[in-house]
Structure 1
Amino acid sequence: MATSFHDLFSRLRPGASAHAAGIARGYGATTARTITATDGLTRLRCASLLKPLYAWAAAEHLDTARWAEHAEPAVVVSSNADTLGLWLSVGPHVILDGIARRTGVAWSPPSADLSRFGSVEVAADEVATAYAALAQAALAGDPVADTVLGWMRQVGAGQTFGAREVAGVADAAVKCGWYGAADETTLRTHAVVVLPQAGTDVTVAVALTAQPYTVEKDRQVYRDNVAKGLPVEDVHEAAGGELLRGLLATTLRELGAV
């Protein structure tokens, strides 16, 4: 029997949060459909989930070569250094204003430290709306949006937490974000999937998770590994991978995409 959002949420540990959202829409025969489900906090820090949107908005403010030099690794391998190269040189307010102009979704930069691009707080339905706008812009002929979406198709399996397998589409555009800050007692693991469609039709699924991570010894090892630049995806997979895939699968099923 297929898993429901109720089933997934009923298994959450105390202190956990989970969001799911999806959009299917288009000018042609597609009937517009939206899905939203939330348990726990209504907004979560975005980790690296928004990097493709940052890249899209930054392009108009940089020469093409410099933009591509930083934007491609920011999306394809989730490079934090290259994301900062865009985020700080263009400016957080400018990038977020650019996203709002293109998508209708307005986010605010973190107030404590503007350099923390991953501390922007979002809801899953907002993320789905923004990525649907990116995808439709690409399909309508926006060359920058098309390039960014192409980079999302190149994101390696080691950074997708099985999202493409859930979608059942080998060339689905995917971006994930994962982090657990020192001031948090959760690990955040997020994903967005954009399915290839015909015409200007798009299907987008988003899952956001924040799983409790309260053992101080484990948290210290995690922070040490992050500081050394070591990968921590396996920790996020253990904490939230199954939940993330369940949320994506349920969303795509409710959208009629799988």
Structure 2
Amino acid sequence: MGYNDLFRDLDHSASVQAAGIRRGYGGPPARTVNARSGLTRLRCASLLKPLYAWMSAAHMPDAEQWRRHAEPAVVYSSNADTLNLWLSVGPRVILDDLRERTGVAWTPPNGDPSRFGSVEVAAEEVATAYAVLAQAAAAGDPVAGTVLGWMGDVVDAQTFGARDALRSPKAAVKCGWYGSPEETCLRTHAVAVLPCGGTRVTVVVAMTALPYVDAHAREVYRDRIGQGLPVEEEHEKVSGALLRDLMATTLEELGHKS
């Protein structure tokens, strides 16, 4: 299945992106792929939490305090712990450090910089940043290695089947999912770093913002969010199959071999 097949029947209001990177010393020539239908940038919906954790470590002298918030931010996608890192270090500091380290420039959201999940990104930027994280971990960066290890511990219930779609049970994965009250879509995103050995790395990213216009369903969704209840099942129903197909197609286009 190719991207055209996946995009052909999308609703006109849907936005979908996919990107992948395969590169590394001693491996085959570097290859990048990306495809997009709809908006050029999407809210990140927690997809960047491991990167925030990576960058915040240098600014928190108490390593145990950093770990106490960074680990659940990555492994369990804890918003409260991510917010602690985001505000303790500062959005501008974290994003500036990411730009210096990865070459990818993101800006805090307009209006309310405390909303870490409202940073707008493109899939190819996400793939680039995670490729730098993965290669830093391979080269011995202890914080990058720890963060990547936590991504490997993310439970399957929060991965939307990404590891199965990529046929890589040991892949490091982080997903983001949310639907703001002012939006008529659900955003469901995923990034996976596949084990390759050495400094070689393969990264696959899929991002979706699909229509979610049923008034009753949206009311139930908002109520569950307000009660702190999980909503992954609703995102799976709306976006899960497409998200997995995008990731599998991207991996095929990259020519990745285990």
Q: Deviations over 1:147-173 (max 9, x none)?
A: 000000000000000000011111100
CA displacement 1:169-208 (0-9 Å, x = unmatched): 1110000000000111110000001001111000000000
Separation in 2 of the partners of 1:213 and 1:171? 32
- SS in structure 2 opposite 1:222? helix
* 97-106 vs 137-146, greater mean Cα deviation: 97-106
CA deviation profile, 1:33-65 (whole Å, cap 9, x unmatched): 000100000100000100000000000011211
The equivalent of 1:231 in structure 2 is 230
For 2:207 and 2:169, locate their aligned partners in 1 and report how far apart those are by CA, in whole Å: 22
**Which residue pairs with 1:47 in the alignment?**
45
State yes or no: 1:35 paired with 2:33: yes
Say which SS state the counterpart of residue 175 (structure 2) adopts.
Answer: strand
Pairing 1:87–2:86 present: yes
Return the letter of the residue paired with 1:88: L
The Cα of 1:30 is off from its aligned counterpart by 2.2
Mean CA deviation greater in 28-37 or 51-60:
28-37
Q: What residue number does 1:19 align with?
A: 17
CA distance in 2, matches of 1:103, 1:220: 39
| 2:73 match | 74
SS in 2 for 1:113: coil
After superposing on structure 2, the runs of 4+ consecutive aligned residues of structure 1 that deviate more than 4 Å are: none
Q: Deviations over 1:105-162 (max 9, x none)?
A: 0100001111110000000000000000000000000000000000000000000000
Q: CA deviation at 1:98?
A: 1.1
Identify the residue that residue 166 of structure 2 maps to in structure 1: 167
- Provide the aligned C-alpha RMSD in A: 0.7
Match of 2:151 in 1: 152
Aligned AA for 1:59? A
Distance across 1 between alignment mates of 2:215 and 2:102: 40
Alignment partners' CA distance in 2, 1:37 and 1:85: 34
C-alpha separation in 1, matches of 2:158 and 2:27: 34
Structure 2 counterpart SS, 1:100 = helix
TM-score normalised according to structure 2 size: 0.98
User: SS of the counterpart of 2:176?
Assistant: strand
* Secondary structure at 1:106 match in 2: coil
The answer for the alignment partner of 1:208 in structure 2 is 207
Q: Structure 2 matches for 1:130-145, cutoff 5 A?
A: 130-145=129-144
Instruction: Provide structure 1 residue ranges, at least 5 long, that are not aligned to the other structure.
Output: none
Partner of 1:57: 55
Is the Cα contact below 8 Å between 1:173 and 1:194 reproduced in 2?
yes
Query: How far is the alpha carbon of 1:240 from its aligned partner?
Result: 0.3
Check conservation: 1:30, 1:201, Cα contact below 8 A.
no
Q: Distance in 1 between matches of 2:183 and 2:95?
A: 24
